Chain A
């Protein structure tokens, strides 16, 4: 890898490292379980729980608030509708009263109504239908009260300088603010103007109505404990009594941001951080505004049923989710555990099988090595027997016999070499601590493979470093490693190929043996598998795929390493590093 590429790759590498930590957090989760399967289980369960419960939690929360919002909107609409209804009731109440006065003013003439008697008659008839009617009177165009029926004696009073009089001249009908009457009863006045074109002037019919009527309408709004509803005029003077905002005709204490017209509902933050709704409705043809304040927030209380249902469903989902996650994790991790155990058993078995295979190879080699000298002995002895049978004269054949016997001794010597070597080779203790010269070990191993190397015309080069320190290790095991690797090299090269063996000292701590061949090489994708058990690139039946994995295991046990480099069609180099001092493990 080139150094210049690294910064570019850092980001994905960080992500990969993060994911790796997440799934293989070697240290973070170790405390959760000494057994790696237990800690794996806990990790999977935690991850599963997070990934399944977080969305559930989000959905529940969102739906909860969403439902709350729906309730609130619903409440707001209902509130607006209620205010609108009340506004219409008050308006039609006023309309009815004004229409009644207009009817009277059309049905009777000015002269008739100016008559106290007729007016009294009209008043008594009207009072039945005109609930709340307090008094009635006629005023001429000069503002002088011409006639009056009611509890007060207002005949002859001059209204010419009062505001309402000027207003009615322009607008032909009038509804007054609430005012305190002479009997300390709040009421309000309504009036209509009737023109008299023949005389070129007009007259006014005026009636006073009890304020109680308005209060009744205002309180018809569905109110709860902390709510309030009242009517106020444009100047902020209360027209009806309120629960919390003062009595009739008092100035409104709080400031209300009164809107200009129509019906509106506002959400208001109170000082104590409570939310409340304020609703306003302008009442047509009057100086009044209907105001309602709702402080109790019933919409804030999600119905108990919904809440408990949500809770039950959430808890059930969590329980089911966690149960399923735990059960699945249990199954998966247990399967993994069983698979791992089976694999370990299989490896142990094949390690044994490989030992048997190498013993078989050894036996074949030994048989060949011993059979050849035996064959020579056989022929020489046979020849001597032939000569003895053919001739009586032993003296003539004495020299011939000596030559033959020398040959027989030579062959016996060859056999002895083989058996001695074999004894040295097979003498093995479990991880013995022999003090050996690895150069000698290499030479001994090569002696076994000599024939094979010779027959296949392989060019063997030895570049052994002299005066190597002796290493303290298990001779038999190291021999097996070298035998495996050199066997592989022999299999890898063509006839006439080349195998080189180097030995060297590394860092004063290891003796390094490299075995290089110029054979077919191992492709990159297969190289990383080369130490895995059962992995072989050799043709079927030629390799068990175990030699290297066992060699690897041996080197690990001995505290050494085994490395491989390879290039296709150029060759492979195996490097074995054996520690000089055995690890006192």
Chain B
């Protein structure tokens, strides 16, 4: 089975690095980005299967980034990451085509199962 390609986008470098390492240990191929521009560049260079996107990132608003990604390739699934219960942004994100959302601090098992589900969905298409 080939590795699932995941792109982590969050402005907290420590968080992104630690999470990336944990996912790598679980046999995912992981790229990281700390802002929207970096993320979009990576999506273009190395298109991922699933993106884990923080809703509050510098450069471009999370929702805007989400919409841009969906415009670029609707097949890429996005899991939103939110630091606090900003229900409205989450709803808006779901409407804009996000696959799932997950609250910080995250449970690694929950995250991987959501990534797998998203990837599974992508494969079926």
Contacts and interface: CB of A to CB of B under 8 A. Distances in A.
Nearest to A389: B25
Given A377-B105, A407-B18, A451 B56 contact: yes
Given A372-B83, A375-B83, A411-B14, A386 B25 contact: yes
B22 A379 contact: yes
A379 B85 contact: no
B116 interface: no
A371 B58 contact: no
Q: What is the size category of the interface that chain B forms with chain A?
A: 20 to 34
Which of B15, B106, B108 has the most C-beta atoms of chain A within 10 angstroms of its own C-beta?
B15
A367 B14 contact: no
B12 interface: yes
B58 to A, nearest CB: 6
Interface in A442-458: 451, 454-455, 457
B58 A368 contact: no
Contacts of A386: 22, 25
Overall SS of chain A's interface: helix
A364 B86 contact: yes
B18 A383 contact: yes
B21 interface: yes
Contacts of B59: 457
Contacts of A380: 14, 18
B19 interface: yes
Contact of B22 (A368, A372, A383): A383
Which of A383, A407, A410 has the most C-beta atoms of chain B within 10 angstroms of its own C-beta?
A383
Interface residues of A, number: 25
A404 B18 contact: yes
A382 B86 contact: no
B123 interface: no
B104 A374 contact: yes
Interface of A: 364, 367-368, 371-372, 374-380, 382-383, 386-387, 390, 404, 407, 410-411, 451, 454-455, 457
12 contacts: A368-B83, A368-B84, A371-B83, A372-B104, A375-B106, A376-B15, A377-B105, A379-B15, A379-B19, A411-B14, A455-B57, A455-B61
Given A379-B14, A382-B18, 12 more contacts: A364-B84, A367-B83, A368-B56, A371-B84, A371-B104, A375-B15, A375-B106, A376-B14, A379-B15, A379-B18, A379-B106, A457-B58
**Which 7 pairs from chain A and chain B are nearest by CB?**
A378-B105, A379-B18, A367-B84, A375-B104, A375-B105, A371-B83, A368-B84
